[in-house]
Amino acid sequence: MSNPKTRRAQTIIKPDRDRRFVTEDNPFEAMMSRFDDAARRLNLEPGLYKVLRSPEKQIIVSVPIVRDSGEIEVFTGIRVLHNTSRGPAKGGIRFDMAVTLDEVKALAAWMTWKCAVVNLPFGGGKGGVICDPTTMSVGELERLTRRYTAELMETLGPDSDVPAPDVNTNERVMAWIMDTYSMRVGHTVTAVVTGKPIEMGGSLGRRDATGRGCLVVTKEALARLEIPIDKATVAVQGFGNVGSTAARLMAAEGMRIVAVSDKKGGIHDPSGIDIPAALEWVKEHRFLEGFPGAKSVTNEELLTLKCDVLVPAALENVITSKNAAQIKARIICEGANGPTTARADAILDKKGIFVIPDILANAGGVTVSYFEWVQDRGGYFWDEETVNERLEKIMSKAFTEVVGMAEKHEVGMRIGAYMLAIERVAAMHRMRGLYA
């Protein structure tokens, strides 16, 4: 039962009326519904509630480039800084036709809470350019990246806004951003981006970081539910960097990977899939399709397979009110951003499924991005063993703190994670005050 303080807060903090018309798969609505719930339970002051729910900056720029054909085309670029009270904005840049302001706002807010959950001195940011990179040459992508960077020069900087790779961007794109920024300021600034090539100041361990973070929190959850690691079965939706890394590392720890999938579909073998062999197959054939010795399954079917751990590591909104009741996993480790809708949360809670929310589960990537930023600024680089040890320490501590918050307030892990994050960001605002 809610305490009186919580009930009073609920009469003050009200969501926007028009948000009731937003569909289940709207990313900003999903984030805000969790934020609203956590804010009410924390009895967050109405004024501070308004500050924390509003992005600090929403930047939309035109990005004109000359195509290889000589034709001039103008793309739209977006960058959102959600909150920088704890430090510079941190968040990826994606090149995709599906980029929208709502999506970028949601992802920027997620980054604020993600950084706060693992207690990094960063705020949240996100960006993107609306384009189809598959139709663009390397030269066109470079011109697009450099012009987009130039349009954001007033925002970018190691003390203000530090981008990273995201959908359809990579180390090379980060190198172009770093070079463009450095040329404009007149000296090399490696710490302006993370996810760079190792030779340019990137960190060892960065590529495996998100998947390794999933491994760490999954082991913590298995221990909590008293499931032996060598008896645990795992299904992984998504066989990109995060999903394939998580599957490889979990298999190496002794877990049995019973299913994996990519965008074309998946494979299922209750006796266990040879993940190194699957990785080699994908390297040669590009997709898992046709992998010998395993049964084909759809991505939808994979989500409802019987297993101890389900790792949705591909797309947003794959676990919804339509399929949540059919999920049989005991633990869900959210490797992707926003794989579960807000309406599905209540169903999973009722089923007693232990959900490791995205803002905790996939925070390994931003944690090692933080390590990269620290190493760049200090000019001293760590070996991979040191990176992995420090990552495990931070992720394990964050897991314990989220569990503590969830138990204290008798809520699920997701709302517990949001409460922990909001409390930390709110505390910083209270100490800093409001500049006017």
The catalytic site residues sit at: 126
CA distances from 242 to 41, 110, 170, 300 (A): 32, 18, 14, 19
- 351, 325 Cβ separation under 8 angstroms: yes
- Beta strand segments in 377-427, E: none
Give the closest residue to 53 by CA, choosing from 1, 108, 6. 108
435 burial level (CB within 10 Å; 0-12, 13-18, 19+) = exposed
- 61, 129 Cβ separation under 8 angstroms: no
The CA-based angle 225-366-398, given to 5 degrees, is: 35
Q: Alpha helix (H) ranges present in 240-363?
A: 241-252, 275-285, 299-303, 342-351, 358-361
The one-letter amino acid at 148? Y
DSSP secondary structure string for all residues of 157-216: BTTTEEEEE-TT--HHHHHHHHHHHHHHHTS--GGG-SS--GGGTPPTTTTTHHHHHHHH
Beta bridge partners of 164: 92
Distance CA 401, CA 423 (A): 12
Rounded to a whole number of angstroms, the distance between the first and last alpha carbons of the chain is 39
Distance CA 415, CA 375 (A): 33
Give the closest residue to 428 by CA, choosing from 161, 84, 155. 84
252 burial level (CB within 10 Å; 0-12, 13-18, 19+) = exposed
Question: If you search the block for the tokens 């968040």, which residue do you land on?
Answer: 91
